[in-house]
Amino acid sequence: MKVLAEQPISENANQELARFAKALGHPTRLQILQLLDSQACCFTGDLVEVIPAAQSTISQHLRELKNAGLIQGEINPPRVKYCINQENWRKAKLLFTAFFEE
């Protein structure tokens, strides 16, 4: 009898690490993460004031970071507050650390 879950629950570690790395592969996204992590800015508008790019561009970068699982947003009308996704942040840190220490 065949066992379920022939494809693992968590994707291949390399794929996951690549996904995180790709999300980190743009200076603006690094800056966003730094700002969020420092708690200096959490609302989109704050980021728009600090980062030299159009509001729509920053929103796009936020979406990519969200798709990669590195951040999460909570609605706080009429604003949206973004925060680091601590669980995945930790996971990314572990993956990068393991990668560089292998």
Partner DNA sequence: ATCGTTTATCGTAGTTTTACGATGGAATAA
Partner DNA sequence: TTATTCCATCGTAAAACTACGATAAACGAT
Binding interface with a second copy (CB under 8 A): 12, 14-15, 17-19, 21-27, 29-31, 33-34, 37-38, 89, 92-93, 96-97, 99-100, 102
31 binds, options DNA, a second copy, none, Cβ within 5 to 8 A by partner type: a second copy
Asked whether the beta carbons of 80 and 43 are under 8 A apart, the reply is yes
- Within 13 Å of residue 93, how many CA atoms lie on the same side as its CB? 7
64 scored as a contact of DNA (CB under 7 A): yes
CA distance 20 to 24: 6
CB of 77 to a second copy, least distance (A): 30
Q: Given candidates 20, 33, 73, 89, which one binds DNA under the rule CB under 7 A?
A: 73
Alpha helices in the chain, H assignment, sequence order: 13-23, 27-37, 44-50, 55-67, 86-101
35 binds, options DNA, a second copy, none, Cβ within 5 to 8 A by partner type: none
